[in-house]
Amino acid sequence: MRVQPLSLLAALIGAAACLAACGGADPPSGSSARPAAESRPAPIRPRLVCLGDSLTAGLGVSKDEAYPALIGRRLAAAGYDWEVVNAGVSGDTSAGGLSRLEWSLEGDVRILVVALGGNDGLRGLPVEAMSRNVGEIIERSQSRGIQVVLAGMEALSNMGPAYRREFHEAFPALAHRYRVAFVPFLLDGVAARDELNQPDGIHPNAEGQRKIADLLWPVIEPLLGAASPSSATRR
């Protein structure tokens, strides 16, 4: 479609007027005009990231009912203007969590909750490999000045007593080695309780997610005052 000359001229005049009105043109000398507030970059908010699997993602419940969102509301109620990132991926193993660590730690991450290992146990994956993956997640996070909360998991009984024992001992060993805040079992008080789980008996329902938030909050809260900008943000 061809544009008529008069129409084009009118459009150019209108665009120039809009440019001047929106601050695109230089303000007159001595003018006190300031950039519009919306043009200023939004301040970077401190972040708490929850890196985990379906238990963190909130499989079977809404995002607002998953424990990361509940922790976010507690932060707000306590007067902290933080962003909580739900970095849970259903079906993820410790290797999967490690593979996506870099993008999970984007922004001003101050605290990282690591809640991985459940799917390693379900699949009977080597405990040594799981420990190595989780250890690298902790090391790389600590190198950025990020405080880590490690949440342990338990293997099912059908994996045999030797495997269950090795699996159980891996988490406190990691917590001791890296001197991180530790929750021995993410599903403490939730696992094997029908009223707190969905019909599959594995994934917490909304009330079960609240119990997880109740368990994590006393461990997270003391870290808030000491949390400082991560080195990735300072660079």
Active site residue 203: yes
Q: What is the pLDDT of residue 232?
A: 55
Q: Alpha-carbon Rg of the chain, whole angstroms? A: 25
Residue of 53, 168, 203, 230 marked catalytic: 203
Active-site residue, 231 included: no
pLDDT > 60? residue 50: yes
Q: How many CB atoms are located within 10 Å of the residue 139 CB?
A: 12
In the three-class reduction of DSSP (H, G, I as helix; E, B as strand; rest coil), residue 147 is classed as strand
- pLDDT, tens digit, 9 for 90 and up, residues 155-211: 998 999 999 999 999 999 999 999 999 999 999 999 999 999 999 999 999 999 999
pLDDT at position 44: 86
From 54, 131, 141, 230, active-site residue = 54
Residue 200 annotated as catalytic: yes
Domain boundaries, the chain: 47-234
Q: Is the pLDDT of residue 116 over 70?
A: yes
CATH of domain 47-234: 3.40.50.1110
Q: Of 26, 81, 194, 200, which is the active-site residue?
A: 200
d(CA 137, CA 116): 10
pLDDT of 1 higher than 60: no
3-class DSSP state of 49: strand
pTM of the model: 0.80
pLDDT value for 225: 85
